[in-house]
């Protein structure tokens, strides 16, 4: 009997299927987070408008909203300041995501070295626009973990002068009982930019899908959100700007969490009447 030909190596069973399952799980988790984010924006819009919106999650549009007097569909999208790319989206958002990922990687490395900081909250302010890993690790080393104070400010400048490390300056604000987030403060305290063009582009893009939305309900509205908690969302509107809202019954511009403007009426409502809304 002839010898059997040697069979080719077989990939361990289940590897591809596990990878596929993990991929679909991550997609579902991202989808859930996105839906929660959209719901948060819609609820804030409802509060600012002083209207009791009851939300029903759906797709195309994102929500069906019911009140005591009406029912309408609401699609949600975000507007950002600065440059856009058709393929990659907002440049400012991409840069913020990159810096946050970098800081979170440093966080994990620091926790592996100093486990006692696992539940501490860090806010990092950079003087150079960079996030220097070695300097942050060296600075955390100086913290007295037995200090009874709930917060500390770490003088990175002084520490660097003593350590001889490269002079990449900044400040760490540390809280020992207020969460475990690591935040890059520079991405949250920038200038406000007039962003009428980007707002109009958001409306134009969503307007192409109005016929799909109206397959569920005739009254379709659009909520465009500028999340001003981050620099990428500090996208305000000129005080005299009125967009083309195409076939939408209403378009809302939420400068989260401070104010909202309804179009075509142009009525603006704010968390505080003394708070500045649109830019001049």
Q: What percent of the chain has pLDDT over 90?
A: 55
- Give the residue with greater pLDDT, 275 vs 51: 51
Report d(CA 205, CA 215) in Å as an integer: 18
Contacts of residue 138, Cβ cutoff 8 Å, sequence gap at least 6 = 159, 160, 163, 165
> pLDDT by residue (tens digit) across 124-150?
888 788 888 888 888 888 776 665 555
| Class of residue 197 by CB neighbours under 10 A (exposed 0-12, middle 13-18, buried 19+) | exposed
Q: What is the pTM of this model?
A: 0.79
What's the maximum distance between 2 C-alpha atoms anywhere in the chain? Answer: 95
pLDDT in tens, 79-114: 999 988 777 789 999 999 999 999 999 999 999 999
Please name the residues in contact with 252: beta carbons below 8 A apart, sequence gap of 6 or more.
45, 49, 221, 222, 223, 224, 260, 261, 262, 263
The DSSP element (H or E) to which 19 belongs, if any, is helix 15-49
């Amino acid at each position: 009997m002839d010898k059997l030909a040697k069979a080719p190596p077989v990939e361990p069973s289940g590897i591809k299927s596990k990878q596929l399952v993990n991929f679909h799980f991550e997609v579902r988790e991202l989808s859930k987070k996105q839906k929660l984010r959209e719901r948060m924006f819609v609820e804030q819009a409802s509060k600012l408008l002083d209207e009791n919106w009851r939300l029903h999650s759906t797709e195309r549009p994102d929500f069906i909203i019911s009140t005591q007097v009406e029912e309408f569909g609401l699609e949600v999208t975000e507007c950002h300041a600065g440059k856009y790319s058709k393929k990659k989206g907002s440049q400012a958002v991409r840069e913020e995501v990159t810096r946050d990922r970098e800081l979170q990687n440093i966080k994990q490395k620091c926790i592996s070295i100093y486990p006692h900081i696992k539940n501490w909250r860090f806010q990092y302010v950079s003087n150079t626009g960079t996030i220097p890993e070695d300097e942050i690790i060296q600075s955390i080393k100086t913290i007295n973990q037995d200090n009874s104070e709930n917060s500390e400010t770490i003088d990175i400048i002084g520490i660097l002068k003593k350590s001889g490390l490269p002079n990449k300056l900044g400040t760490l604000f540390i809280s020992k009982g207020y969460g475990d987030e690591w935040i890059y403060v520079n991405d949250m305290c920038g200038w406000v930019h007039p962003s009428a063009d980007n707002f109009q582009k958001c409306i134009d893009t969503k307007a192409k899908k109005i016929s799909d939305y109206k397959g569920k309900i005739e009254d379709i509205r659009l909520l465009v959100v500028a999340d001003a908690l981050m620099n990428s969302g500090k996208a305000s509107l000129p005080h005299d700007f009125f967009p083309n809202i195409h076939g939408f019954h209403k378009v809302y511009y939420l400068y989260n969490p401070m104010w909202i403007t309804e179009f075509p009426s142009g009525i603006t409502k704010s968390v505080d009447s003394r708070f500045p809304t649109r830019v001049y």
